[in-house]
């Protein structure tokens, strides 16, 4: 049997395992929207830990992050830096969201904000923002999976087919089982990708340079010290500015817990304790970025001039002498990283699209069964759209995704004020969000207009907070009865039903 | 329902900081979090941005970031232990 066949066989076994697990997992929850979107609010620490971890570490973890370390050196430390503080707000905001979610029946972030700020328009704006961020995100995951299978099979499996097979599996289990499929498959995928990352991250420096410190000393001895000193290099190879590095860390940290597919996991947790413990344990998942970056550094001297840098991991795998069984396992681990984010995004995009985008625009109420049918329909439609962009379109997807990071950070002031600033009003929230997204987009498409070279998200946040506070103070506050559920969770009263 | 003007507080309402039993642990945690955030960006990180000395095989610039990740893990763990059981 040729080597590529063994590798593909292992990837195939992995896909079959995930498919079986995902489809089987749905049997444990009720056939309702709560069951499909929020797993009946029953998730424990272990599953939640892997859902939060694996959803965040996408194919970027196995392709993009090592690519950053490989081409931009210390600049890649920013990925660890923002995660260090980025999850902390969720320790406080998550349990609050879970409590009001349980009391009022929310399953998405926008539903909660629309109720707190008494604004359907806000819900629709957030739904549009989420979908604009999610489709390119999902497209990149599909491209990543396809690229990996193509490289590793030496072209036998073309990119369109690899993406189709991997995401066909995702589509089937998300369609069938919703949240529970994501929970259980992400647990397996998370364990798998962590094992693979630690193995490669320790093995490659050892085999190529005789250890981790010798590897870094060799890079420094080659005159590439600038690469190992923070803040590393910019995309063009010149030293990155401290302003650029610091503001990128800041914006990413602020936006980190606000990603709608991550935030809505608060509604799946069994209890506040569960959610808090998950956040406490989260840094142990982050640690897996250390070996990931070591993989990238291992390629610096051994394989210079790999282009684009994102392909350094598949390149390393095909160049070093490794048994095909191991390469197959590594490949499956990288697929796991792509699919475990792709499934969460797909599920969130469809759930948000219906609950926050379509439902508020309809005048008649929708039955639970009808809602599930709609969400499933949107799962198929979203996959098809992302697949179209992944395979047939040449639109600059990466730029869209980079813009989305600054956009998602604009949700933070709204969520923070929802719980801690009773004076915040609906018109203020909507105006602030729009001002934030506007400023972010303006400085993204016209970077030459920036007064100082800071991340565009910083300008967005400044505009957002200024407009949010001003408009809130100028408009009539909401009824204290509505707000008390948000500011004082111990006095939570469910007597006012959520608009549903 | 139309919301009516009423006695809504003007400033931030943070129940944990107003609770005397909870407040000290929370304040310490917030100080550690903010320090850790600042340590990872300008103007603090430039002082730790060098290659030397190596820590556990990693350049100092790398180990510094990983070190703060470990500090935050510890801080979150301690906060969780002092948190009331709901």
* Per-residue tens of pLDDT for chain A, all 500 residues: 788 888 899 999 999 999 999 898 888 788 888 888 888 888 889 889 988 888 777 777 788 889 899 999 999 999 899 989 999 999 999 999 999 999 999 999 999 999 999 999 999 999 998 888 888 889 988 988 888 888 888 888 998 999 999 999 999 998 988 888 888 888 988 888 888 899 999 999 999 999 999 999 999 998 888 889 989 888 888 888 999 899 989 999 999 999 998 999 999 999 999 999 999 999 998 898 999 999 999 999 988 888 788 888 888 888 887 888 888 888 888 888 888 888 989 999 999 999 998 888 887 888 888 899 999 999 999 999 999 988 887 666 666 676 778 889 999 999 999 999 999 999 999 999 999 999 999 998 888 888 888 999 999 999 999 999 999 999 999 988 888 889 876 655 444 444 43
By the 8 A CB rule, do A421 and B13 touch?
A: yes
- Whether residue A202 lies within 8 A of chain B, CB to CB, comes out as no
Rg over CA atoms, chain A: 22
* b (16+ CB within 10 A) / e for A93-126: bbbbbbbbbbbbbbbbbbbbbbbbbbbeebbbbb
Q: Do B51 and A276 touch (CB under 8 A)?
A: no
DSSP 3-state of A357: helix
Q: Which two tokens stand for residue A358?
A: 């379509």
Phi, psi of A48 (to 5 degrees): -65, -40
For the residues B40-60, what does the mean pLDDT come to? 90
CB contact under 8 A, A423 and B8: yes
User: Quick check: A229 and B46 CB within 8 A?
Assistant: no
Q: Would the CB atoms of A477 and B62 count as touching at under 8 Å?
A: no
Q: Is the ipTM of this complex over 0.85?
A: yes
**Cα angle vertex A107, ends A104, A110, to 5°?**
90
Q: Within 10 Å of residue B57's Cβ, how many Cβ atoms?
A: 16
A201, A283, A290, A429, best to mutate vs chain B, most B CBs in 10 Å: A283
Partners of A43 in the beta sheet?
Answer: A269
Q: Which residue blocks in A238-323 are alpha helix, DSSP H?
A: 242-256, 260-263, 272-286, 289-302, 312-319
Tell me how many degrees the CA angle A375-A379-A384 measures, rounded to the nearest 5: 145
Which parts of A87-158 fold into alpha helices (H)? 88-104, 109-116, 120-152
Q: Look at residue A20 and give its three-state secondary structure.
A: helix
pLDDT digits (tens, 9 = 90+) for B12-43: 888 878 777 778 888 999 999 999 999 999 88
**Of A333 and B77, more confident:** B77
Q: Which residue of A has its CA nearest to B33?
A: A85
First-last CA distance in chain B? 33
Supply the pLDDT for residue B29. Answer: 93
Q: How far apart are CA A123 and CA A101, in angstroms?
A: 15
Would you call A229 and B11 a contact, using CB atoms and an 8 Å cutoff?
A: no
**Nearest Cα to A194, choosing from A277, A285, A279?**
A285
- Shortest CA distance from A76: residue in chain B: B62
Q: Which residues pair with A269 in a beta bridge?
A: A43
- Given CB atoms, is B17 within the 8 Å cutoff of chain A? no
Name the minimum distance, in Å, from the CA of A189 to any CA of chain B.
23
Judge: A283–B9 Cβ closer than 8 Å, yes or no.
no
Nearest CA in chain B to A220: B51
Which chain B residues touch A256 with a CB distance below 8 Å?
A: none
- Crossing angle of helices A3-25 and A324-352, in 10° steps, is 40
Check residue A400 and give its pLDDT: 67
C-alpha span between A36 and A23 (Å, rounded)? 13
Give, rounded to a whole angstrom, the gap between the first and last alpha carbons of chain A: 58
Q: How far apart are CA A226 and CA B50, in angstroms?
A: 9
All residues of chain B having their beta carbon less than 8 Å from the beta carbon of residue A92 are 16
Cβ distance A88 to B72 less than 8 Å, yes or no, reads: yes
CB contact under 8 A, B70 and A273: no
Task: Point out which residues pair with A26 in neighbouring strands.
Answer: none
């Amino acid at each position: 049997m040729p080597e590529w066949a063994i590798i593909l066989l292992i990837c195939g076994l992995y896909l079959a395992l995930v498919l079986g697990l995902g489809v089987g997992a749905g049997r444990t929850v009720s056939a309702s929207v709560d069951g499909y979107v929020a797993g009946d609010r029953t998730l424990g620490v272990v599953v939640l830990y892997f859902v939060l971890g694996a959803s965040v570490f996408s194919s970027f973890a196995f392709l993009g992050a090592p690519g950053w370390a490989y081409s931009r050196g210390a600049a890649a430390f920013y990925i660890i830096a923002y995660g260090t503080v980025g999850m902390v707000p969720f320790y406080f905001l998550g349990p609050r969201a879970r409590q009001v979610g349980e009391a009022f029946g929310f399953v998405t972030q926008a539903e909660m904000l629309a109720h707190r700020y008494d604004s359907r328009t806000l819900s629709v704006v957030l739904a549009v923002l989420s979908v604009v961020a999610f489709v390119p995100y999902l497209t990149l995951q599909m491209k990543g999976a396809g690229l990996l299978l193509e490289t590793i099979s030496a072209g036998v499996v073309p990119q369109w087919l690899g993406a189709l097979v991997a995401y066909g599996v995702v589509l089937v289990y998300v369609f069938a089982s919703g949240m529970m499929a994501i929970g259980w498959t992400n647990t397996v995928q998370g364990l798998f990708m962590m094992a693979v990352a630690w193995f490669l991250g320790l093995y490659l420096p050892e085999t190529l340079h005789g250890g981790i410190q010798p590897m870094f000393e060799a890079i420094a001895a080659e005159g590439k010290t600038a690469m190992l000193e923070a803040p590393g290099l910019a995309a063009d190879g010149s030293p990155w500015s401290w302003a650029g590095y610091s503001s990128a860390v800041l914006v990413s940290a602020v936006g980190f817990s606000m990603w709608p597919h991550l935030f809505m996991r608060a509604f799946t947790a069994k209890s506040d304790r569960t959610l808090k413990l998950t956040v406490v344990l989260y840094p142990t998942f982050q640690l897996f970025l250390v070996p990931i970056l070591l993989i990238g550094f291992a390629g610096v001297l051994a394989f210079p001039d790999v282009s684009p840098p994102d392909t350094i991991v598949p390149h390393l795998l095909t160049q070093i002498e490794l048994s095909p069984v191991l390469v197959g396992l590594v490949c499956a681990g990288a697929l796991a990283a792509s699919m475990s984010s792709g499934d969460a995004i797909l599920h969130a995009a469809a759930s948000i699209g219906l609950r926050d985008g379509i439902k508020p625009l309809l005048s008649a109420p929708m039955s639970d069964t009808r809602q599930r049918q709609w969400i499933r329909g949107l799962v198929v439609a979203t996959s098809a759209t992302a697949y179209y962009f992944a395979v047939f379109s040449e639109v600059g997807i990466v730029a869209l995704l980079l813009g989305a990071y600054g956009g998602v950070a604009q949700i933070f002031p709204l969520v923070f004020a929802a719980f801690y600033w009773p004076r915040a009003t609906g018109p203020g929230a909507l105006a602030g969000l729009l001002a934030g997204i506007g400023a972010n987009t303006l400085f993204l498409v016209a970077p030459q207009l920036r007064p100082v070279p800071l991340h565009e998200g910083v300008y967005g946040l400044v505009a957002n907070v200024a407009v949010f506070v001003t408009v809130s103070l100028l408009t009539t506050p909401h009824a204290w009865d509505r707000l008390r559920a948000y500011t004082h969770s111990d006095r939570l009263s469910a007597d006012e039903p959520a608009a549903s | 329902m139309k919301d009516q003007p009423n006695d809504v507080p003007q400033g931030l309402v943070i129940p944990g900081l107003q609770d005397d039993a909870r407040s000290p642990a929370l304040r310490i945690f917030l100080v550690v979090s903010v320090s850790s955030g600042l340590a990872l960006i300008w103007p603090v990180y430039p002082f730790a941005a060098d290659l030397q000395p190596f820590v556990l095989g990693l350049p100092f610039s790398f180990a510094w970031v990983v070190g703060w990740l470990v500090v935050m893990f510890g801080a979150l763990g301690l906060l969780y232990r002092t948190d009331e059981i709901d």
